[in-house]
């Protein structure tokens, strides 16, 4: 369990204040010692721990008596606030260039999850409505290019590659040119990782950076490496100049040191965190929620937000009405499939809350994969076709056009159209309002 140890150790600190009426210089000594030990055990660097403990102590003694608030609660509140500040306070959003193509350069040591992050980032950006392209500039491991290609297929994003014989900076430059031609919103450049920092890697990164003038230069670091991650961010920032970090593997039993130290040590924010191996397991880094999680209060905010996203009541009712009147069209289809896909993340969040089990049906996973393919086909339809799927059922020429525009086969488009009509019938069946079969045969 993430931060489990840290949370438990901190609880010991609060418990020492039970029965006290007010926070004093004397009675915070023991709890502060616990907090100090807890942070060090979580692999937060010593100077950061020292500063943190000092700040919290100063504030605690100064608070005096607040009616209705126990001293231990008061200390929790102060620690919470200081943890949030330590991690940078506000969420630090990705920056996009105001016009034209945004370039994101990814750097990181081998095995930290950089290639995975590249694809996850595309998945994330697509949800924000941005088109993406990945550039394979890791020319030392042919396997890395293959891996990126496979992931690109998975998230429905093209991968620009030129094999292993061309200079990374040249590939990056050509990739960017290609992306600009195609009016792609965001280009993500995947660079080579080494087992450890060396001059050749830094020089190459500098060269790539210079070649594409990125809006964001993000260092991918592994949360499991604790304060070492913070040190890496510092080094990369000094060497090549970065805009932030992406922290991966926060789902593992990382002790928290990385999440807590990166900002304070390097001055650079953690922008995103990876919390699993699936494409949707990348999200913004919210210092306040992270602090809440460390203090063992559950990530209630994330839960509420995700749940709201999916369970929009009105939408569901609207949908039901449409189904009843057999007007369920491709717009509804898209909405509904997206909702199902999002349930995947919700079920994960539910899993984080004590007392709630995982509820992920296997179908959700499948739906997530199909969604991307379906979206591209539906996006290639005209608004009229989306509202009147019959048009597509009747016209092979229209289906062919959709296939060409979405880069899918005619067969896939036909399948999608058939699926929509089947869904109409199935849904009407479910609601008990079925009035005879109405799946039209697709005309050829």
Q: Which lies closer to ligand GDP via its Cβ, residue 87 or residue 403?
A: 87
Q: Which lies closer to ligand GDP via its Cβ, residue 153 or residue 251?
A: 251
Per the listing, tokens 């969604």 go with 371
Stretch that binds ligand GDP, among 43-51, 89-97, 113-121, 384-392 (CB under 6 A): 113-121
We find the least distance from the C-beta atom of residue 134 to ligand GDP, in angstroms, to be 12
Residues 6+ apart with CB under 8 A from 430: none
Interatomic CA distance for residues 250 and 241, integer angstroms = 24
- Footprint of ligand GDP on 202-261 (CB under 6 A): 248-249, 251-252
Angstrom distances, CA of residue 240 to CA of 96, 206, 270, 383: 20, 6, 17, 47
We find the least distance from the C-beta atom of residue 273 to ligand GDP, in angstroms, to be 8
Q: Which lies closer to ligand GDP via its Cβ, residue 72 or residue 222?
A: 222
Query: In whole angstroms, how large is the CA radius of gyration of the chain?
Result: 26
Q: Does 113 bind ligand GDP (CB under 6 A)?
A: yes
Binding mask 171-210 for ligand GDP (x = CB under 6 A): ----------------------x-----------------
- Footprint of ligand GDP on 316-355 (CB under 6 A): none
Interatomic CA distance for residues 79 and 60, integer angstroms = 9
We find the least distance from the C-beta atom of residue 43 to ligand GDP, in angstroms, to be 18
Q: Which lies closer to ligand GDP via its Cβ, residue 114 or residue 126?
A: 114
Q: Which lies closer to ligand GDP via its Cβ, residue 10 or residue 132?
A: 132
Q: Which of 214, 269, 274, 287 binds ligand GDP (CB under 6 A)?
A: 274
Q: Does 114 bind ligand GDP (CB under 6 A)?
A: yes
Q: Does 275 bind ligand GDP (CB under 6 A)?
A: yes
Q: Which of 86, 103, 112, 240 binds ligand GDP (CB under 6 A)?
A: 112
Stretch that binds ligand GDP, among 114-122, 127-135, 170-178, 421-429 (CB under 6 A): 114-122
We find the least distance from the C-beta atom of residue 83 to ligand GDP, in angstroms, to be 22
Q: Does 116 bind ligand GDP (CB under 6 A)?
A: yes
- Which tokens in the block code for residue 204? 């190459």
Interatomic CA distance for residues 431 and 106, integer angstroms = 49
Paired residues of 272 in beta bridges: 246, 284
Stretch that binds ligand GDP, among 27-35, 103-111, 398-406, 428-436 (CB under 6 A): 103-111
Per the listing, tokens 């991968």 go with 159
Q: Which lies closer to ligand GDP via its Cβ, residue 276 or residue 396?
A: 276
Q: Which lies closer to ligand GDP via its Cβ, residue 127 or residue 182?
A: 127
The widest CA-to-CA distance across the chain, in whole angstroms, is 86
Residues that bind ligand GDP (CB under 6 A): 108, 110-116, 193, 248-249, 251-252, 274-277, 281
């Amino acid at each position: 369990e993430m931060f489990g140890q840290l949370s438990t150790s901190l609880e010991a600190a609060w418990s020492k204040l039970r029965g006290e009426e007010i926070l004093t210089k004397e009675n915070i000594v023991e709890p502060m010692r616990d907090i100090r030990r807890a942070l060090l055990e979580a692999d937060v660097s010593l100077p950061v721990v020292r500063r943190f403990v000092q700040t919290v102590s100063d504030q605690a003694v100064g608070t005096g008596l607040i009616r209705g608030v126990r001293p231990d609660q008061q200390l929790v509140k102060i620690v919470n606030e200081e943890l949030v500040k330590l991690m940078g306070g506000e969420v630090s959003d990705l920056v996009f260039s105001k016009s034209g193509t945004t370039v994101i350069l990814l750097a990181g040591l081998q095995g930290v999850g950089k290639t995975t992050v590249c694809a996850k980032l595309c998945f994330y950006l697509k949800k924000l409505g941005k088109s993406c392209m990945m550039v394979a500039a890791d020319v030392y491991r042919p396997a890395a290019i293959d891996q990126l290609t496979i992931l690109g297929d998975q998230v429905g994003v093209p991968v620009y590659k030129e094999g292993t014989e061309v200079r990374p900076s040249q590939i990056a430059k050509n990739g960017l040119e290609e992306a600009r031609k195609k009016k792609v919103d965001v280009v993500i450049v995947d660079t080579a990782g080494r087992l450890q920092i060396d001059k050749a890697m830094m020089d190459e990164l500098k060269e790539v950076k210079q070649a594409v003038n990125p809006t964001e230069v993000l260092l991918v670091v592994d949360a499991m490496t604790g304060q070492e991650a913070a040190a890496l961010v510092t080094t990369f920032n000094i060497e090549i100049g970065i805009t932030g970090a992406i922290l991966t593997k926060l789902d593992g039993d990382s002790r928290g040191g990385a999440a807590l130290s990166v900002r304070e040590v390097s001055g650079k924010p953690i922008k995103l965190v990876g919390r699993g191996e699936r494409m949707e397991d990348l999200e913004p880094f919210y210092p306040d929620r992270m602090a809440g999680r460390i203090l063992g209060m559950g990530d209630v905010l994330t839960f509420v937000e995700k749940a709201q996203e999916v369970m929009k009541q009105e939408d569901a009712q609207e949908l039901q009405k449409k189904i009843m009147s057999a007007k369920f069209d491709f717009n509804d289809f898209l909405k509904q499939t997206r909702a199902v896909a999002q349930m995947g993340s919700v079920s994960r969040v539910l899993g984080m809350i004590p007392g709630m089990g995982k509820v992920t049906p296997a179908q959700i996973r499948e739906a997530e994969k199909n969604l991307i393919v379906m979206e591209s086909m539906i996006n290639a339809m005209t608004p009229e076709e989306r509202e009147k799927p019959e048009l597509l059922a009747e016209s092979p020429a229209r289906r062919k056009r959709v296939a060409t525009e979405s880069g899918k086969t005619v067969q896939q488009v036909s399948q999608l159209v058939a699926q929509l009509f089947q869904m109409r019938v199935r849904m009407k069946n479910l609601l008990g309002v079925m009035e005879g079969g109405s799946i039209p045969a697709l005309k050829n």
